[in-house]
Amino acid sequence: MDVRASGKYMRISPQKVRLIVGAVKGKPVESGLNVLKFMPQKAAQMVEKVVRSAVANADQNPDIDVDLLVIKNIIVDEGPMLKRFRPRARGRASRILKRTSHITVIVGEGSA
């Protein structure tokens, strides 16, 4: 049985989060959290938060053993963009897109 958790409207670009995701996908939850804890990137903290939420969701189900959980998949989708403008030369303006991410973590029981 799979359990999921999602973090929406996270203020980081999906491209930066996807770089982190490959390091923990398919690992047991405990070792995945250890890897994320010592990564210096901002995205690692955000992914760690959503993984912990998925584990807490799984803990609510009495049929699931939390010690055997494996990170089955992490999906990073693009959220809405905040549009800002920056002044440029000769009275022009250029657009700055502040990107957001939707992070979905799916955990399930696997062989530890």
Task: Output the pLDDT for position 74.
Answer: 97
Task: Output the pLDDT for position 110.
Answer: 80
Spacing of C-alpha 12 from chain mean position: 10
Task: Output the pLDDT for position 81.
Answer: 97
Give this prediction's pTM: 0.91
Split at pLDDT 50, 70, 90, the class of 107 is very high
Task: Output the pLDDT for position 111.
Answer: 65
Please compute, for residue 111, the number of CA atoms within 13 A of its CA located in the half-sphere on the CB side.
Answer: 0
Split at pLDDT 50, 70, 90, the class of 35 is very high
- Tell me whether strands 101-109 and 69-78 are parallel, antiparallel or unpaired: antiparallel
